[in-house]
Amino acid sequence: MGDEGQVMSCHSTEAWEDQLAKANDSKKLMVVDFTASWCPPCRLIAPFLAELAKKLPQVIFVKVDVDELK
């Protein structure tokens, strides 16, 4: 698949739906970080989630900017 070990960013509804379908089809756990560029706690957790994605390639990690995708 090629996306293992990284946090995938969804910048469109189509990208979100693709990631959701991928998780459903594969029966993998999907962790979603609903984030915003102006949010200090969101910026603090981003490196932690990136590290988790590397350590847990069997889990799909996705981030969604709430200002981009309502």
Average of pLDDT values for 5-30? 93
pLDDT of 2 reads 60
The domains of the chain, with CATH numbers, are 8-65 (3.40.30.10)
- Is residue 61 within a helix (H) or strand (E), and if so which, with residue range? strand 60-65
pTM: 0.85
Catalytic residue among 31, 42, 46, 49: 42
The Cα angle at residue 38 between residues 35 and 40, in degrees rounded to 5: 80
| Mean pLDDT, rounded, of the chain | 92
66: pLDDT strictly greater than 90:
yes
DSSP string, 4-42: TTSEEEE-SHHHHHHHHHHHHHHT--EEEEEE-TT-HHH
**Would residue 10 show up in a list of annotated catalytic residues for this protein?**
no
**Would residue 42 show up in a list of annotated catalytic residues for this protein?**
yes
Catalytic residue among 8, 23, 30, 39: 39
15: pLDDT strictly greater than 80:
yes
Average of pLDDT values for 20-31? 94
